[in-house]
Structure 1
């Protein structure tokens, strides 16, 4: 009986804090954040003496920051998600 107990003690399992669901949601969140930064890019001018009003388009001022904030919300959800729930 002592031998079996010793085997149980020597057998170590490594368990991560985050599970596969957490990492999946984190990758989705990073993708949404990257999409927001891609939407925000562009609209500049090649000539510094010429002003391009396209930099203030609806996509760059409203949509892209909202998409980035949604991505950050997904990241918070991914961190707070309990990977053991539902097993």
Structure 2
């Protein structure tokens, strides 16, 4: 007489594209990128006529960009990681 309702067994199971392991690496990569940008910030001077040489220190020139690049590498790894491969 009417439409027959489908049970939950009949419906296809909806899955996420990524698994837990992928998301862990994604959040770790985001953390590295955020930390890199935080370490890169600052170093300015209140007086524009005075040069502050702290802008060229190790933390802003070497460490922070390296952390950002590591974070981007982790993001690429998280996207390409196949968690079903080693089950």
CA shift, 1:7, in A, is: 6.5
* Structure 1: runs of 5+ lacking an equivalent: 1-5
Hey, what does 2:19 align to over in structure 1?
19
Any runs of at least 4 consecutive aligned residues in structure 1 with deviations exceeding 6 A, and if so which?
6-9
- TM-score, normalization by structure 2: 0.84
Q: Which moved more, 1:73-82 or 1:6-15?
A: 6-15
Hey, what does 2:40 align to over in structure 1?
40
Hey, what does 2:80 align to over in structure 1?
80
- How many residue pairs align between the two structures? 82
Q: 1:11 to 1:56 in 2, by over 3 A?
A: same
CA shift, 1:76, in A, is: 0.5
Q: Which has the higher helix share?
A: 1
Q: Partners in 2 of 1:52 and 1:63 — Cα distance?
A: 19
CA shift, 1:10, in A, is: 2.4
Cα RMSD for the two superposed structures: 1.8
CA shift, 1:85, in A, is: 2.0
